[in-house]
Chain A
Amino acid sequence: MGDQILAQYSRRMRFRKILDKVLPLILSVAVFIAVATVFSVLFTTIMTGWHRLSLNLILNYPSANPNEAGMRSAILGSIYTVGLSALICIPLSIATAIYLVEYSRGGRLASILSYNISNLAGVPSVIFGVVGLGFLAYWLGMGRTIITGAFTLAILILPLVTVTCVEALKTIPDDLRLGAYALGATTFQVVRRVVLPRALPMMLTGGILGISRALGEAAPILIVSGLLFIRDDPTSLFSRFTVIPLQLFNWVSRPQPAFIELSSAGIIVLLIILFALNGLTIALRQVLARRAEWA
């Protein structure tokens, strides 16, 4: 009887011992799968598309001939739309963050408003496109234009950028604020002279994060703008437009292999832009770290 329990116990201990050795291996397989996916996506895209990389791709307009086709109008459309959306979104986000962290100090109104920011973050991106089309383009009569696309993207990235700006303000130690208040500063003076200069680099990181998100979004722009074949540069904010991910979607949907290669090349261009933006945030973060050493 005792022997039996002992045997059972030692069997269980042996199993535990093996499990203890094997578990980190099993878990690291999951990490490996994730990392391998990133690399295989990048690898296959580059292998398929690199020989289509050329200046034509950037300088030419879309064309039915894959050897001449480029995404000039899409690149310009992306720059206009995303640039404008950043100009709308970043000041709004900074102002919102300042209100929530510096002015409200956690009142009831502030908690409702910030709860709605997280609600907005949960809205699927395609819904922003549907509302951009229904509300901005038709009800407000802005048309399916660059400015409608820009406002749609601005509201789409607003929660993301705002949350980063709030985090940025929260990293500023309270001592600095209290010191300024003790000298009789108003809240606005504290914000402008003490808090904002220190939080700005991290806020810009949030802004760039939002820009990269907006650059990759195809769904809302597809709804707002439709799938267009545009062969001229945008002339005003009320021009019809297309963006890089939409041009890629267009090429991906065609059956000819040449267009698949072209879309891979386009993806490489888009990913290079995104990685460059990512590098910029890392550089900003380093500036931030150096600043922190001085403080």
Chain B
Amino acid sequence: MTATIQHEALRKAIQRKRIQDRFFHITFLSATFVSTISLIVIYVTLGLESFNFFAHVSIVEFLTSTKWTVLFADKNFGVLPLLNATVMTSLIAIAVAGPLGVMIALFLSEYVSSTTRSVVKPVVETLAGIPTVVYGYFALYFITPNLLRTLWTNIQIHNALAVGLMIGILIIPIVASISDDAMKAVPADLRLAAYAVGSRKSDVALRVVFPAALSGVSASIILAFARAMGETMIAAIAGGFRSVLTFNIGEAMETMTAYIAQVATGDAPHGTIEYQSLFAVGLFLLLITAVLNYIGIKVVKRWAIRY
């Protein structure tokens, strides 16, 4: 008699635990959907507001006109000046961060002890942790007047070069840490085989590890480029809000992100064409960075399978 009651109680307790487990399973699963839903919301919001924008502006004009004067009375809607500024500053950034990041990765993975590594790596990563407002301020008040002005006397106070240099510093950790992972993933056998045929350490580093890690290194550069294109505050502070198509990196330029910031600092009432242009430029930027990230992640995956 008591045995059946106990049995019954136990069965109920187990039942309860099962229901509890099912409940939390569903709760956790719904939490996991938040990122995906956010991503959908991002694309839908940008898409629908851009749709409003492109009801007034032809896509052909947007992509081919060389004038962007949305905030003026006489409006032109050519995104090329903004795109040009974004690409120019990002290329300068990669010219800085690519070589430096790869060199740091090679140094950390091949030359230093694990103790030195554990000291140097966090310091390098600090570069990505400093708020970007600080970099913008540093570019405008120290890099341009103290460094660039002495070398290039008639460079403008706001210029693309200083912006690119500071973004380059900011993305060094991205290049360095992904490249470092790729180099660490090169099997020790390859290094030992190279030493066995009489290689020096520099041969191993430059002719074995670097080529073997090349796809990881290129992925790091693509991903860093995408990050550089999305950087806002440095371009807004040190780049000057001047949307003119120019290839002179000593002049003020306005990146896509800086334009978005400029609209936000000014007055763009809800529903106006200025307001809608935020979303069109945002969508354009997002699509470019999404493609770059896609390629980057694909390249990383390919290298990961190889060993």
Task: Name A residues whose Cβ lies closer than 8 Å to a Cβ of B.
Answer: 16-17, 19-20, 23-24, 26-31, 33-35, 37-38, 40-41, 44-45, 48, 91-92, 95-96, 98-100, 103, 110, 112-113, 116-120, 122-131, 133-135, 138-139, 155, 158-159, 162, 186-189, 191, 212, 215-219, 222-223, 226-227, 245, 248-249, 252-253, 260, 263-264, 267, 270-271, 274, 278
A123 to chain B, nearest CB (A): 6
User: What chain A residues lie within 8 Å of B17 (beta carbons)?
Assistant: 186, 188-189
Q: What does the 1/0 interface line of B79-102 toward A look like (CB < 8 Å)?
A: 000000000000000000001100
Interface size class of chain B, counting residues whose CB lies under 8 Å from the partner chain: 35 or more
- Interface pick from B38-46, B68-76, B148-156, B181-189: B38-46
B32 and A30 form a contact (CB under 8 A)? no
Q: Note all chain A residues with C-beta closer than 8 A to B226.
A: 122
Once A41-B134, A186-B20 are accepted as A-B contacts, the answer to whether A120 and B35 lie under 8 Å apart by CB is: yes
Nearest CB in chain A: distance from B27 CB, A: 7
List 25 interface pairs A-B (beta carbons < 8 Å), by A numbering: A33-B100, A34-B123, A92-B31, A99-B25, A113-B35, A116-B36, A119-B293, A131-B42, A131-B282, A134-B279, A135-B45, A138-B270, A155-B34, A158-B35, A158-B38, A159-B35, A188-B17, A216-B129, A218-B233, A219-B236, A223-B278, A248-B133, A260-B141, A264-B137, A267-B133
Whether B279 contacts A130 by the Cβ 8 Å rule is yes
Q: Which residues of B contact A91 (CB under 8 A)?
A: 31
CB distance B111 to A24 under 8 Å? yes
- B49 touches A (CB below 8 Å): yes
A188 lies within 8 A of B21 (CB) = yes
- Contact, CB under 8 Å: A124 / B229: yes
Residues of chain B with a CB closer than 8 A to A99's CB: 25, 28-29, 31-32
Which residues of chain A are within 8 angstroms of B133 by Cβ–Cβ distance? 216, 218, 245, 248-249, 252, 267
Question: B123-152 vs A: 1/0 string, CB under 8 Å?
Answer: 110110111111111101110000000000
Chain B residues, CB < 8 A from A98: 28
User: What's the Cα separation between A141 and B204 when bound, in Å?
Assistant: 60
| A127-B286, A252-B137, A253-B237 as given contacts; A38 in contact with B36, CB under 8 Å | no
Contact A127 B42 (CB under 8 A): yes
Q: Are A267 and B203 neighbours in the complex by a CB distance under 8 Å?
A: no
A127 x B233 contact (CB < 8 A): no
CB distance from B176 to the nearest CB of A (A): 8
Chain A residues contacting B206 (CB-CB under 8 Å) are 23
Assuming the A-B contacts A123-B286, A134-B49, are A38 and B126 also in contact, with contact meaning beta carbons closer than 8 angstroms in the complex? Answer: yes
Q: How far is the CA of A103 from the CA of B30 in the complex (A)?
A: 12
Contacts of A278 in B (CB 8 A): 129
Contacts of B141 in A (CB 8 A): 48, 260
The interface residues of chain A lying within 8 Å CB-to-CB of B223 are 122
